[in-house]
Amino acid sequence: MLQLPKAKNWWKGAVIYQVYPRSFQDTTGDGTGDLRGITQRLDYIARLGADAVWISPFFRSPMKDFGYDVSDYLDIDPTFGTLADFDALIARAHELGLKIMIDLVLSHTSDQHPWFVESRASRDNPRADWYVWADPKPDGTAPNNWLSIFGGSGWHWDARREQYYLHNFLTSQPDLNFHNPEVQQALLDVAHFWLERGVDGFRLDTINFYTHDAALRDNPPLPPEERNDQTAPKVNPYNHQRHVYDKSRPENLVFLEKLRAVMEPYGAAAVGEIGDSQRGLELLGEYTSGDKLMHMSYAFEFLSGSDLSAARVADVFEQLAEKAPNGWPCWAFSNHDVVRHATRWGLSEPAVNAYVTVMMCLRGSVCIYQGEELGLHEADVPYEALQDPYGIEFWPEFKGRDGCRTPMVWEAHSNTNAGFTTGVPWLPISHEHLHCAVSEQDKQIGSVLNHYRWAIALRHKHPALQTGSQQLQVDGDVLTITRQQDDDRVTLRINLSNEEAGGLGPWHFELNEA
């Protein structure tokens, strides 16, 4: 496919719009979104002002974890369409000036992937060492104490080989063995395949999970006072360990250099997801410093439950300056794995507007998750309608991720399934979301949607807001952000509270565009 020339640093300061394809737009009436639906709605994303679109996985998959369990990296799951549909999506996106970033899940595959089917067949086949296999301890128990994010042991017994295999997530998601050079090359070939097909970059799922400690040493315990729920819900024993051996290994950097080298001729960029609540910003610095590793990464500092107060913003950037002075962050408030931030932080519409104004003025790149530009709150999905295995496992203390994955609301009519599908939607559409529909907000001057458009346009207007220097000042609930690049200077003074502060009304701001 013809490759269009790209500005070398197009990603720096970019606004990336995340599409969860199952829930964006259905064109077939089967109740599940698809690639043609995304293509149909690209004009909407372009009008919003995004620079790029990150599409969550659409590869062939048994859908045990809704696409994050890949059974074929080089084909489209029929649920979402065909390779021809993807090519059409790329072509239309490029016509509109949009970049396309696809979600590569490299740390693990589905247990139905041909690689794993062959690997588990015997201990001496050509792919026997492509996954992380280990003998049991003398008493038959797992090789070590590593845990799965989805609950329980990170090891699963396989009767065919009479060995355990590692799975950091579901038992149906076995971990690839990155200590095997053939595995690394196979995954680099996957990246090359999609780059040749025209993609402009990747979102790299669980980027710090790629390599493991080859000696399989036990993780040490984590004291209760140091535990938090940024990576896993608080009811999950995963939080009881210091994860120094099962992930975030230094050997990871060697593979990331190889991946960057594959991407470089295409002008492509990558944003890595760092799932590590203990060393998130430190790893961000390690993975994005210089020009040989990844371009940008996001940790979970703004994806956690902590209120995004003025002091909190300043504290995160102080930590960033200390732990990752040469790294490049990509900030997100919401995504497909966490409670929507309007609910998580208990935000009114004015507050949602205030926070996106802050986001568009912060140094780094940013990700917006579909529906947040409508001010959507977390949907209440009843237990009997749950699809997410994570929520089913930990219900009711943790209700899973379905509440942030319900279908996009395009029209304010329940009898049309909000314009999402003509069939039965795969997750129920929240009636509370209908009044927030695009059709309603599009024509309202003061709507959340139109404020998002304004805030993104502000970022594009000023080079200072994309790549300039940054100074932060905190005065109680008032945050002042000053950005400057050459003669372009922007100062935002904003009240991040629901009471008057510093001469500003609740959630009000002053903007000085010098």
CATH dotted code for 15-108+181-385+445-460:
3.20.20.80
The answer to whether the pTM exceeds 0.75 is: yes
Instruction: Give the distance from CA 19 to its chain's centroid.
Output: 10
* Half-sphere exposure for 162 (CA within 13 Å, toward CB): 2
Cβ proximity of 412 and 441 under 8 Å: no
Output the pLDDT for position 329. 97
In this prediction, residue 31 carries a pLDDT of 97
**pLDDT on residue 92:** 98
212-271 pLDDT, tens per residue? 999 999 999 998 888 776 566 677 889 899 999 999 999 999 999 999 999 999 999 999
- Give the tokens for residue 127: 């792919």
Consecutive H or E run containing 48: helix 42-48
C-alpha neighbours within 13 Å on the C-beta side of residue 486: 4
Instruction: Work out the pLDDT band at 398, boundaries 50, 70, 90.
Output: confident
**Measuring CA to CA, which residue among 300, 309, 462, 455 is closest to residue 375?**
455
State how far the Cα of 371 lies from the Cα of 474, in Å rounded to an integer: 30
Q: Residue 396 burial by CB count (10 A; 0-12/13-18/19+): exposed, middle or buried?
A: exposed
Of 111, 145, 171, which is closest to residue 393 (Cα–Cα)? 171
Decide: 8 and 355 in contact? Cβ < 8 Å. Answer: no
- Locate 403 and state its tokens: 């509440």
Give dist(CA 83, CA 445) in Å, integer. Answer: 39
* Burial per residue of 481-501, b for 16 or more beta-carbon CB atoms within 10 angstroms, e otherwise: bbbbeeebbbbbbbbbbeeeb
What sign results for the dihedral spanned by CA atoms 340, 341, 346, 347? negative
**Is residue 299 predicted with pLDDT exceeding 80?**
no
Distance CA 15, CA 465 (A): 11
pLDDT on residue 430: 95
Every domain of the chain and the residues it spans: 15-108+181-385+445-460, 468-513
3-class SS of residue 129: coil
| Residue-level pLDDT at 2 | 41
| pLDDT surpassing 70 at residue 279 | yes
pLDDT tens for residues 54-109?
999 999 999 999 999 999 999 999 999 999 999 999 999 999 999 999 999 999 99
- Could you read off the pLDDT of 174-215 as tens digits, one per residue? 999 999 999 999 999 999 999 999 999 999 999 999 999 999
Three-state secondary-structure class, residue 288: helix
Q: What six digits make up the tokens of 268?
A: 């492509």
Confidence of residue 377 (pLDDT cuts 50, 70, 90): very high
Residue type, 110: S
Nearest CA among 199, 202, 193, 6 for reference residue 91: 199
Instruction: State how far Cα 263 lies from the chain centre.
Output: 20
CA dihedral 385, 41, 70, 218 (to 10 degrees): -70
Give Cα separations from 145 to 242, 255, 400 (angstroms). 11, 26, 25
* Residues 201 and 269 sit within 8 Å (Cβ to Cβ): yes
Q: What distance in Å separates the CA atoms of residue 503 and residue 499, rounded to the nearest whole number?
A: 10
For the chain, percent of residues with pLDDT exceeding 70: 98
Which stretch of DSSP H or E encloses residue 349?
Answer: helix 349-361
Mean pLDDT of the chain: 95
Tally the residues of the chain: 514
At a CB cut-off of 8 Å and minimum separation 6, what does 20 contact?
Answer: 33, 56, 336, 369, 370, 405
Distance (Å, rounded) from C-alpha 318 to C-alpha 203?
26
Q: What pLDDT digit, counting tens, does each position of 441-491 carry?
A: 999 999 999 999 999 999 999 999 999 999 999 999 999 999 999 999 999
Tokens of 449: 């949607």
**Residues with a known catalytic role:** 205, 273
Contact 132, 121 (CB under 8 A): no
Mean pLDDT, range 363-371, rounded to an integer: 98
With 0-12 / 13-18 / 19 or more C-beta atoms within 10 angstroms meaning exposed / middle / buried, residue 445 is exposed
Laid out side by side, the sheet with 133-134 consists of 133-134, 163-166, 155-158
CATH 1.10.1740 for domain 468-513, yes or no, is no
Q: For residue 103, which phi and psi values (nearest 5 degrees)?
A: -90, 105
* Maximum Cα interatomic distance, the chain, rounded to a whole number of Å: 73
Which SS3 state, helix, strand or coil, does residue 390 take? helix
Mean pLDDT of 23-32: 98
Take residue 21 and report the two structure tokens written for it.
Answer: 């394809």
H-assigned helices in 309-380: 310-323, 341-344, 349-361
Residue 42's pLDDT is 98
DSSP-derived secondary structure for 245-285:
SSS--TTHHHHHHHHHHHHGGGT-EEEEE---TTTHHHHHH
Residue 399 confidence (pLDDT): 85
